[in-house]
């Protein structure tokens, strides 16, 4: 069952975990250096995995201990895995470079708990996401989900204020309810089919009441973790209250992990059970999320809560991909357009949202506040940062040549090809509302009235360049038009 | 009614009670306890699944038993994390409610 190059998968898993252990051994003074080194190695490894995957055009697999499913655990790496892992590695690296100024312990300074905790939790999020992309059975995905949660929750309360502790606790309770519902579904599926392996379930599962109940429970649990409307209320206080680097991590990557499991569950484990009609439900919630999240974002007085509500809205786009993929399957069309559109939206939002949160963090560091109304002329004090914010906004709105534009283009094509024109309205309307809240910030920031606001503290140029680089990447993602269409179908479910 | 059916129904009952408590109770400590009741129900369900799926001569299918052990470790860690957050919240904020306290001037009045 182990394919050529399968050992690389074990290495990909070991890298972040070894980083965590080493950080514990050597302490917070070394944690930043260990993380950056591990991320550099991880980027190379992800590149190698991509090359291997393209060369073999079949999923890379590794059977742990030589035991094949259903008894053993199989690590499996396909095109969808590559899309999420590559996105995660790029965003994690950018966040780590940005966070160095905030959380690294300079020589001679006292080591703080926040610095040590931040780096180990960043490695923890990385480890969780790696398990998410490599797992090929629903129970390993459950473990991955919990790893991700346990790394994400303390990130919310890094600053230890009462309101952030409250946000973290609320997040944890939502996440626990979600994962235990997912576990009930696992029990029902195992009871009915005697396996939780995704490939075997795809062959055995039928649309009987127990399976439908299991699917509904697991989906509800995952939606709570992904913060899809109306289960989103934990997200804005949690993401807005964390330090900017942690917000970026949470908004860009952590919520994508549980969404990825929805994809595995709906499209690969139970395609015989879910129907295009059933997929209208999460997509409709997604459409409501787009309008609701954007409208509330427009009314926020502060920058970070606005960006957090924007995440609520942007997550809605991801769920529109479900009926489009299932609809294409039902009509016998290729699912590549819808899948590529959805995964590109995921990558585009991850890069843009991380850049936006970090830009907001720099504005906060410079001005000492992030009230939108009082940002007048900040573009003259922090030109690079405001540029980064604007470019990230362009990607979120979906203007060409950004990844967001190409993603929406692909999703609209898929919607029209499968005769589901109503999703085009949500895709286009969401773009308009996004433009409104991004423009609202930029109009104040770019205003030339009055003197440029004085900076409370100098903002390092290198940090601004990191943010600008990530924003540029998300803006130029659309130029790589062929990549998602080539990557996503690699080793897809049919080739099992 | 066989023993496994009784255990299965009991597991379902615990899941129901736990879920109800998790949703209805406003206080975080009650929610954490409800989560544990709910978790116990799920583990019992896994036990029932193991018993039903047992091959001749075995007490139970080992795979669901392994799931239960993993699930318990996870639930234990989750409970520890939640209680730690709650304790810190009580220390820093002086209260353990999840809702924001009213603004200071309201409280003074």
Of B52, B61, B89, the CB nearest to A166: B89
Check B70 against A139: CB less than 8 A apart.
yes
H or E element, residue A418: none
Burial of B7 (0-12, 13-18, 19+ CB in 10 A): middle
A224 interaction partners in chain B (CB closer than 8 Å) = none
* Separation CA A255–CA A293 (nearest Å): 15
Check A163 against B71: CB less than 8 A apart.
no
- Mutation target to probe the A interface, by most A beta carbons within 10 A, among B16, B37, B49 is B49
> What is the pLDDT tens value at each position of chain A, 496 positions in all?
788 888 999 999 999 999 999 999 988 788 899 999 999 999 999 999 999 998 888 899 999 888 888 788 999 999 999 999 999 999 999 999 999 888 877 777 777 788 889 999 999 999 999 999 999 999 999 999 999 999 999 999 988 888 999 999 999 999 999 999 999 999 999 999 988 999 999 999 988 999 999 999 999 999 999 999 889 999 999 999 899 999 999 999 999 999 999 999 999 999 888 988 899 999 999 999 999 999 999 999 999 999 999 999 999 999 999 999 999 988 888 888 899 999 999 999 999 999 999 999 999 999 888 898 888 888 888 989 999 999 999 999 988 888 889 999 999 999 999 989 999 999 989 999 999 999 999 998 988 877 778 888 888 888 999 999 999 999 888 887 667 777 777 766 543 3
* Separation CA A279–CA A286 (nearest Å): 11
Cα A407 to chain centroid distance, Å, stands at 15
Is the model's pLDDT at B98 over the cut of 80? no
On the question of a cis peptide bond just before residue A267, with omega within 30 degrees of 0, the verdict is: no
Check B31 against A173: CB less than 8 A apart.
yes
How many C-beta neighbours within 10 Å does residue A428 have?
12
Backbone φ, ψ for residue A371 (5° rounding): -75, 125
A176 interaction partners in chain B (CB closer than 8 Å) = 35, 78, 82
Q: Which pLDDT does position A467 carry in this prediction? A: 93
Contact indicator for A229, A312 with CB cutoff of 8 Å = yes
With bands split at pLDDT 50, 70 and 90, how would you rate the model's confidence at B101? low
Q: Which pLDDT does position A389 carry in this prediction? A: 94
Check B28 against A169: CB less than 8 A apart.
yes
Q: Which residue of B has its CA nearest to A164?
A: B89
Is the model's pLDDT at B106 over the cut of 80? no
Q: Which pLDDT does position A425 carry in this prediction? A: 92
Check A172 against B88: CB less than 8 A apart.
no
* Separation CA A157–CA A360 (nearest Å): 18
Q: Which long-range contacts (CB under 8 A, 24 or more apart) does B14-23 make?
A: B14/B38, B14/B40, B14/B41, B14/B44, B15/A184, B15/B41, B15/B42, B15/B45, B16/B41, B17/B41, B18/A180, B19/A177, B22/A173, B22/A177, B23/A177
Q: Which pLDDT does position A494 carry in this prediction? A: 44
**Mean pLDDT across B57-63:** 79
Of A169, A183, A188, the CB nearest to B82: A169
Of A150, A165, A191, the CB nearest to B88: A165
Residue-wise pLDDT tens digits, B7-54:
999 999 999 999 999 999 989 999 999 999 999 999 999 999 888 877
Check A154 against B81: CB less than 8 A apart.
yes
Cα atoms in the Cβ-side hemisphere of radius 13 Å centred on A112: 11
Check residue A104 and report its DSSP letter.
S
Check A143 against B89: CB less than 8 A apart.
no
Q: How far apart are the first and last CA of chain A?
A: 11
Burial of B55 (0-12, 13-18, 19+ CB in 10 A): exposed
Is the model's pLDDT at B105 over the cut of 70? no
Check residue B102 and report its DSSP letter.
P
Contact indicator for B88, A160 with CB cutoff of 8 Å = yes
* Separation CA A220–CA A225 (nearest Å): 9
């Amino acid at each position: 069952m182990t394919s050529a190059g399968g050992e690389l998968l074990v290495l990909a898993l070991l890298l972040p975990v070894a980083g965590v252990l080493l950080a514990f051994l050597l302490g917070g003074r070394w944690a930043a250096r260990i993380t950056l080194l591990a991320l550099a190695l991880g980027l190379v490894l992800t590149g190698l995995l991509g090359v291997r995957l393209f060369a073999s055009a079949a999923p890379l697999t590794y059977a742990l201990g030589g035991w094949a499913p259903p008894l053993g655990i199989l690590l499996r790496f396909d095109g969808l895995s590559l899309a999420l892992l590559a996105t995660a590695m790029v965003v994690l690296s950018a966040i780590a470079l940005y966070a160095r100024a905030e959380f690294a312990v300079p020589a001679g300074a006292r080591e703080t708990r926040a610095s040590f905790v931040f780096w180990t939790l960043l490695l923890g999020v990385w480890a969780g996401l790696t398990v998410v992309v490599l797992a090929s059975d629903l129970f390993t995905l459950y473990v991955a989900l919990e790893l991700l949660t346990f790394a994400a929750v303390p990130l919310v309360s890094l600053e230890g204020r009462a309101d952030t502790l409250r946000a973290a606790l609320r997040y944890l309770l939502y996440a626990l309810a979600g994962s235990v519902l997912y576990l009930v579904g696992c029990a029902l599926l195992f009871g009915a089919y005697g396996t939780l392996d995704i490939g075997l379930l795809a062959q055995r599962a039928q649309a009987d009441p127990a399976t439908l109940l299991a699917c509904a429970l697991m989906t509800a649990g995952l939606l709570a973790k992904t913060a899809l409307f109306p289960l989103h209320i934990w997200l804005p206080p949690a993401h807005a209250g964390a330090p900017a680097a942690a917000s970026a991590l949470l908004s860009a990557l952590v919520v994508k992990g549980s969404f990825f499991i929805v994809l595995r569950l709906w499209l690969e484990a139970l395609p015989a059970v879910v129907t295009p009609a059933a997929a209208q439900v999460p997509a409709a919630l997604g459409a409501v999320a787009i309008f609701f999240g954007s409208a509330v974002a427009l009314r926020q007085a502060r920058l970070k809560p606005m960006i957090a509500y924007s995440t609520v809205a942007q997550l809605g786009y991801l769920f529109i991909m479900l009926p489009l993929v299932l609809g294409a399957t039902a009509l016998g069309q290729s699912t590549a357009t819808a899948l590529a559109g959805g995964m590109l939206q995921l990558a585009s939002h991850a890069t843009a949202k991380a850049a936006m949160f970090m830009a907001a963090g720099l504005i906060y560091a410079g001005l000492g506040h992030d009230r939108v109304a009082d940002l007048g002329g900040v573009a003259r004090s922090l030109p690079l940062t405001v540029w980064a914010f604007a470019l990230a906004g362009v990607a979120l709105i979906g203007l060409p040549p950004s990844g967001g534009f190409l993603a929406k283009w692909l999703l609209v094509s898929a919607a029209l090809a499968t005769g589901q024109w109503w999703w085009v309205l949500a895709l286009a309307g969401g773009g308009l509302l996004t433009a409104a809240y991004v423009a609202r910030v930029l109009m104040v920031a770019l205003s030339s009235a009055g003197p440029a606001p004085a900076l409370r503290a100098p903002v390092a140029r290198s940090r601004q360049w990191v943010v600008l680089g990530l924003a540029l990447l998300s803006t130029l993602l659309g130029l790589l038009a062929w990549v998602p269409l080539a990557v996503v179908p690699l080793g897809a479910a049919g080739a099992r | 009614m066989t023993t496994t059916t009784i255990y299965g129904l009991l597991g379902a009952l615990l899941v129901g009670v736990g879920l109800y408590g998790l949703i209805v109770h406003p206080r975080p400590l009650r929610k954490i306890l409800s989560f544990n009741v709910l978790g116990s129900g799920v583990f019992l369900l896994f036990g029932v699944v193991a018993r039903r799926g047992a091959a001749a001569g075995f007490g139970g299918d080992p795979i669901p038993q392994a799931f239960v052990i993993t699930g318990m470790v996870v639930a234990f860690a989750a409970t520890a994390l939640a209680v730690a957050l709650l304790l810190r919240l009580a220390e820093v904020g002086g209260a353990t409610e999840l809702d924001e306290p009213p603004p200071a001037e309201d409280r003074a009045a």
